[in-house]
Structure 1
Amino acid sequence: MLTVHAPTCSTRRAGFTLVELIITMVLVSFVAGAIVKLLLRQQRFYNSTTDLIQTRQQIRQAAAMLPSDLRGISSVGNDIYAMSDSSLDFRGVFGTTIVCTNNGAGLLSTVPRVLASGAAMTNWTRNPAVGDSILVYNDSTMVSSSDDAWSKHQISAIATITSATSTSGCPVATGLTQAGDLTAGNPSYQFTFTAGASPKILVGSAMRFFRKVHYSVYKAADGKWYLGFYECKPGCSAIQPVAGPFQPYAANGTSGVQFAYYDATGTVTINRNLVARISLVVRGQGTGLVNLSGDGATAFGDSLRIEVGLRNK
């Protein structure tokens, strides 16, 4: 006889046991810990790399800025005002031009920057301003060079001349300009000086525009050391950081920015008129500890040495 039994229901529900849950949680914690550790290491690597790049960028910025200013120095022309291992004061030339007219009463005018002929007789990185200084080459009247000299003047007033016929500017009659060269955006400048220019200065004489420039390593309000800059025309502006931070100043030769001066024989000199080469060492210092390998954080520093030969020594 066939007997049919009714299905029975198990009282046990499907799921994880407590032991299984504990094992799972332990495994998840191991994986999560490894991921967090990896993320922290990557974050440290990123921060260290960023600090390293920024430090080297500051070094390159100082290295790119100073040589262009230093090369134009004329040591024999008294361009260097003061020099030390941590600072340098000199004439910073920002433009050149030639004399277009000399009215004989102490006023000189310039050739406009852009000429239809394509000739480049005027070039400057900024427009001259009242208070700026210039050096004008005075060929004087003698055939020999015995009376030739650079005369220094300070600008007291500036007039812009746009007339092609005005003798106060750079008229076509001089042969240096053509009709249409002089415009409101491309004028001739007539300069008045605190002491009038010599009437013997000839048309075509060279003019150099300059301001006193100062570079030094200095400690800022945040307690860090920077390469600082200011200029004078004639009053001096407040010093501003242009690169850094660098290593602190030290008299033992480990300063963040260090100058050294050499004469034509390669000997160290303290005579401003004998400088033929300026050596610049820039030592960067990271803002924090660098950890690239994961073996431990260390302070990062880098340096760069630049040798600048003076063109007008």
Structure 2
Amino acid sequence: MLTGRAVRARRAGFTLIELLISMVLMGLVSGAIVKLLLRQQRFYNSTTDLIQTRQQIRQAAAMLPSDLRGISSVAGDIYAMSDSAIEFRSVFGTSVVCANIGGMLSTVPRVLARNSTMTSWARPPALGDSLAVYNNGPTAALADDGWTRFQITAIPTPVTTNVANGCPVTTGLTQAGDVSAINPSYQLTLSPAAPASIAVGAGIRFFRRVRYRIYRETDNQWYIGFFECLAGRTPACDLTKPIAGPFQPYAPTGTSGMQFAYYDSTGAVTADPLQVARISLVVRGQAAALMNLSGAGGTLFRDSLRIEVGLRNRR
């Protein structure tokens, strides 16, 4: 039986209890997602630090041995050495004598039309650099043959044409057009003057005094540093520049970020630069911040690498 009362339709919706339960569940899920994202971010940052630490170790391991292998201890290449630093005569280039005029030597240009390479250097020679030139000696006997050392006493003169004081084609080492403004020969003024017994075709090795050491920078981190010296420059040695790091701090207890040990031909430890036949180098890397890979708490990541380098012309 119908009445005059209107029947009010029920509206679909949530009760207060259902809303509270939904909010709690959403909070739990959101918290779990945020926690997961934070853990992923920490893992990513820690992995990046780990990779960077190992990369710095590899960088040091790639740079130092290549320089150390060129040392000739019997020739006096090592100026100073300790457990945390080494200073020595470093080879930065080679060339061939193309002319010897009045005791001044000229080099073969770097690029030749025949695609052969007789000159290669990391940078052109400069005033104050030293070099060793193979000297055949005044006689045909082998006894007076050997390497003679000189120092460059004037800014090397670039020779841009095939003239006599450069690298003329008459030497047979160059062809017409090999010598140019962008591919010059360098005439070197030396002390002492080169003797006449140094002939065209003699080998040249260019040297510069360098030093590697572990030191603390202004950010209080320890790095492997490098500087080079040139005689006649003021100051003779430039400032130490970081080339890799950070590493573990220096310590005399055998845990330094970079540690040298020196051995003679019998394998005994030596402090005599003229007796060094092998250099042992240990590089110990250290992350710049705490790492958290497992989520159990931050730890300071460390890694190390040991390298043995045999020297040339050793006793």
Q: TM-score range by the shorter chain?
A: over 0.9
What SS is found at the alignment partner of 1:228? strand
Instruction: State, as a whole percentage, how many aligned pairs show the same letter.
Output: 63
Residue number among 112, 115, 119 corresponding to 2:112 in the alignment: 115
Greater shift in the superposed pair: 107-116 or 74-83: 107-116
Cα distance in 2, alignment partners of residues 179 and 13 from structure 1: 100
Superposition map of 1:242-253 within 5 A:
242-253=243-254
Superposition map of 1:279-294 within 5 A:
279-294=280-295
Q: Is the alpha carbon distance of 1:118 and 1:27 closer, same or farther for their aligned partners in structure 2, counting shifts above 3 Å? A: closer
Cα distance in 1, alignment partners of residues 62 and 201 from structure 2: 33
Letter in 2 for 1:207: I
Q: Tell whether 2:52 aligns with 1:54.
A: yes
The answer to whether the 8 Å contact 1:89/1:212 transfers is yes
What SS is found at the alignment partner of 1:298? coil
Question: In the TM superposition, what is the alpha-carbon distance from 1:12 to its structure 2 partner?
Answer: 6.3
Aligned to 1:180: 177
Question: In the TM superposition, what is the alpha-carbon distance from 1:95 to its structure 2 partner?
Answer: 0.7
Aligned to 2:13: 15
Question: In the TM superposition, what is the alpha-carbon distance from 1:16 to its structure 2 partner?
Answer: 1.9
Cα distance in 2, alignment partners of residues 145 and 77 from structure 1: 19
Residue number among 69, 76, 94 corresponding to 2:67 in the alignment: 69
Residue number among 130, 134, 144 corresponding to 2:131 in the alignment: 134
What SS is found at the alignment partner of 2:155? strand
Residue number among 226, 229, 242 corresponding to 2:226 in the alignment: 229
Greater shift in the superposed pair: 64-73 or 129-138: 129-138
What SS is found at the alignment partner of 2:158? strand
Question: In the TM superposition, what is the alpha-carbon distance from 1:172 to its structure 2 partner?
Answer: 1.4
Aligned to 2:297: 296
Letter in 2 for 1:249: Y
Superposition map of 1:252-263 within 5 A:
252-263=253-264
Letter in 1 for 2:157: A
How many residue pairs match? The answer is 309
The answer to whether the 8 Å contact 1:246/1:256 transfers is yes
The answer to whether the 8 Å contact 1:228/1:242 transfers is yes
Cα distance in 1, alignment partners of residues 178 and 237 from structure 2: 36
Residue number among 202, 205, 222 corresponding to 1:205 in the alignment: 202
Aligned to 1:102: 100
Cα distance in 2, alignment partners of residues 298 and 182 from structure 1: 59
The answer to whether the 8 Å contact 1:72/1:312 transfers is no
Question: In the TM superposition, what is the alpha-carbon distance from 1:92 to its structure 2 partner?
Answer: 1.0
Greater shift in the superposed pair: 171-180 or 209-218: 171-180
Unaligned runs of 5+ in 2: none
- Measured against aligned partners, the alpha-carbon deviations of 1:62-93 in whole angstroms (never above 9, x if no partner) come to 01111111111111111111111100111111
Q: Tell whether 2:310 aligns with 1:312.
A: no
Aligned to 2:186: 189
Residue number among 6, 10, 34 corresponding to 1:36 in the alignment: 34
- Measured against aligned partners, the alpha-carbon deviations of 1:219-249 in whole angstroms (never above 9, x if no partner) come to 1111110000011122111000000000000
- Measured against aligned partners, the alpha-carbon deviations of 1:166-195 in whole angstroms (never above 9, x if no partner) come to 211111122222222222222211111244
Cα distance in 1, alignment partners of residues 59 and 83 from structure 2: 20
- Measured against aligned partners, the alpha-carbon deviations of 1:13-69 in whole angstroms (never above 9, x if no partner) come to 542222111111111111111111111111111111111111111111101111111
What SS is found at the alignment partner of 1:288? coil
Aligned to 2:164: 167
Unaligned runs of 5+ in 1: none
Cα distance in 2, alignment partners of residues 60 and 200 from structure 1: 45
* TM-score normalized by the length of structure 2: 0.92
* TM-score normalized by the length of structure 1: 0.93
Cα distance in 2, alignment partners of residues 312 and 227 from structure 1: 27
Cα distance in 1, alignment partners of residues 276 and 265 from structure 2: 7
